[in-house]
Structure 1
């Protein structure tokens, strides 16, 4: 059976589903059995712990009772009184054998051994002394043990009084093979007693295992296979068998090490009874696979036979034979499929021509699309290779088109694209040129028999065609374009390569605002970086990665917070906070600064409304770029924004640089006049660093000047800077303008500026820029500095 055939795949699906079900069931049963077995073992281990503790308690109780009987015996007391060591020794020997004690010992009140059944009584005497002291001070711990000569013992000591304390009788019961065998008999658990040396080495003193396995048990205890997360019981591998273990800590006397009793249960033996069940399940799975295989094969044949008939008819349609009627005698879904084949046969021929046209033509402008342009470009390249005829590609992308779409809507944008296509075709290009729309507002021009010089001339005509605004539906649209040029064979001999390099040059033209750029190898790396940055910047605006920061402004005379300058920060998910100097100049070059400005104005209006609602009607300043000033629609958008956010117009202060105004003073004056008429406050930013004319400054409808921080930061140590600042303040006040000093870095600057009658200040001495969410808290807790004790040198003091 061919595995690629539908019939084989249907059978495979049947068998695969069964296999999945069976494997899942087998896994579930295996997991359940294993988990239940381990839970049962865990229960057994804890039961074994209780049995082990009970055995130890019984031994302790027997020892205490027997020791008390001996201590109270009249003959034993008489032997003590007469200092008859032989009688004491005999009594200890007989009594110890009667209760199976490992050692019996008698000491005087000073714990000097007078009689003992042990060969070396000294360690036992010390153990009796420790036990006696514990008994006198509050009692011993449960199941307390003493390790003597590598053997764990249970020790009991009873005082002998006549009536005062005259001595101590001690008994020791070895915890050894007999106790572990009894534990195994009662609980079926294996066990070992482990001791740990001062150097951290583990040894086994007794165990129910074969002594040959004691070292493997210790090794596995130190490196268990795994540890249960709930009970912390380890799993050990000993001689190839898996054991669940449970440690029972037998505390030692004060200053003595504890003994670890490790109770163990074989996991393999616990799982052995379930082996027959697993075999039965495996045999049932084999029977199920066979039954499903036969059923799947029969079902698959009934489905695939009519499908093979339809496949034959489809091959006839593929060869262009549309005359054969599609007939399959079936009333089920296969019959419905056959009717659909017939409807398709009737429609294919009619649609084929339309599909060919749509595949190679842009529906909006009726120009060739990207695929057709690539085809024409490949043909031009082939002519170059065969006949040596050069060709060139112009790629152009319109400036400000996105703004047109955003403001006037996509329908109007489509009309603009049609108008651009008509203007390029009939005014800028010759008949032999191929004009195509590649995507969005991106157009391409193929210039056959054209080198770099002629391509530049064509690009100049295209740029000239954009100098006249486009008028549609009573709207005037002022567009521009960045054009990239790549030539064959100078810049490449493949269609995709030429298009790519023309695109690189085009983006370089837009970034540099150069109008037209011819490709050269040095553009590649920077262009790729710019494309990435522009894409990420668009994404940042659309996905809330930009953050509004505010730097406070205060009244230098009263110390009151009166506003803040708004700044933007880009919180990139991978790069962190991107410095403004990394993306603001780039946004200005590419025209994206208008989008950033619009975002800033919206955020500031919202922040101002929030601050006013909290009882702080402060003014917020926003920087405008050259492109913003040249945008004649800016006043309209500002009016809409103020109405939407319901904030007074004097809440916002628009800061413009001198250079931005002087790029096109007349156009800037028109925009500023409209903004000022709306009640918006206007400020000249970085005053003193540009090249503005005082004549223009007198005509500008501005409300304040901002002294550049390069003068302010050094004014308390540089007398010339201080004089420039004083002159600027006097000039501004004579023109009726308020003055803001940037770069207030210390208390001396504050005092000097206040003495020079500067109105406002901002700088790191007051506060660094902070996230807008923290600004309200800062305002509520702001305290003006006390500059009374700030000393100014004679020259500076004389200025104020």
Structure 2
């Protein structure tokens, strides 16, 4: 749109000012902008240079339907930021990257612009603001309640001012991207660590306490996968808003990463943390509504205090993170850091290092527990169980190192070694002319089932052993983690000749529909039911039901945890096929097992 103009009669305040003076004042204003990191000095300078009632700098949203002032000077004083629609305004025309000048009657030209009417504006001058890259950042405008009379230097000064303001806004946006989270508008990890370090320094100098909350939104990844990242981002934004509303005084909320947030609590001592944690959990109790869906969020919180738990910012964040890991296992989902947590983590780290070395040096061994026919008492097979004797720590419980291997990504390597060792032992017994009846059972982890090439991998690892000599045990819970994949893999295992047992049956949540589709030939009854069935009619009924269900499906049953003669008698009465437990023998090394059973 061409610029509309009228003859320029300089106003009294600017008629003696030349271009050089105007540019000097503009330069001083930009120097102040750099110091204050605010564009207010610029709009104040423009109202002085052009003797107008209003000067504003506004940015626009991505749709270009709304503008928001980031600096505004109104009648010799700064004005609060405001948002306004662009449709039907002179500002809308400026966004076509063309300066726009209306010296008078602007309200009559734009009757839908209620804001201009309220301000009683007659004259308007707008200049587009561009980043150094050419990207449109927003607009700069002058407004006056009388006809607008501009000095000769107006166009040069406004063009220069708009260019400098556009560059400053681009720089501020780049700073926001570096320091602020784009989804929630909260400080990001980088920014928060600076705030935390400053807070620790101030707390140290003032000899005051400082606390930190580390929060995790449970099930967020599941929601993201199920509903998409757009819903996930909106949900994160809603969570951030709830947390900010819960903040009191000088408390600062930040987003650290993914579904993790942190809250800085100045002057909060260790003993005051319980109340703060409950307050932030309470803020998330009400369901969050997004597009007719309700999301019930659960927040786990770990807490730590400076200087009681950590001497600096980095270690304080680490301590709160350790407490968060324990909070995820706690009934109330909140925990305060203590030294025992640190010792447990140190042991876990040391254990991982030693386990990695043991795997590399093939220092893990196998023990074997017999599986016996209940009717005849003869050996029908055995279960191969991984054992680890560390040269410094002694025997390490499988209940400790196997979950650690799963958590730290070592379980596949461990599983491969177990299969190789089991096959090597079968060959050794055969070479010693010790006949091993039935099958040798090996446990598979849930993570191994994630490998679509598992069957081919097991065939390579067991090269030289007939598949019918091996059985694989998979827990009911592992099968139900991804049932469709499990159905395919179990059928592949059965197809090449391996046998398959569903371990710990009765503790998971498999349906009969899935059970009949898994290509398993054996159900292993969990030891908790077997152990208590002599005293509990409820457990006895469960064992009886599992045996009857297996028989109906053409499957065998193996009872685990058989420790007494009375267990054997009752299991025989109920029709169970096989048993495994201390009554027949504890897990033992290959030589002892062979001497006793082969």
Alignment TM class, shorter chain as reference:
0.3 to 0.5
Q: TM-score, normalised by structure 2?
A: 0.45
Structure with larger Rg: 1
Q: TM-score, normalised by structure 1?
A: 0.35
Considering Cα pairs closer than 8 Å and 6+ residues apart, tell me whether 1 or 2 has the greater RCO. 2
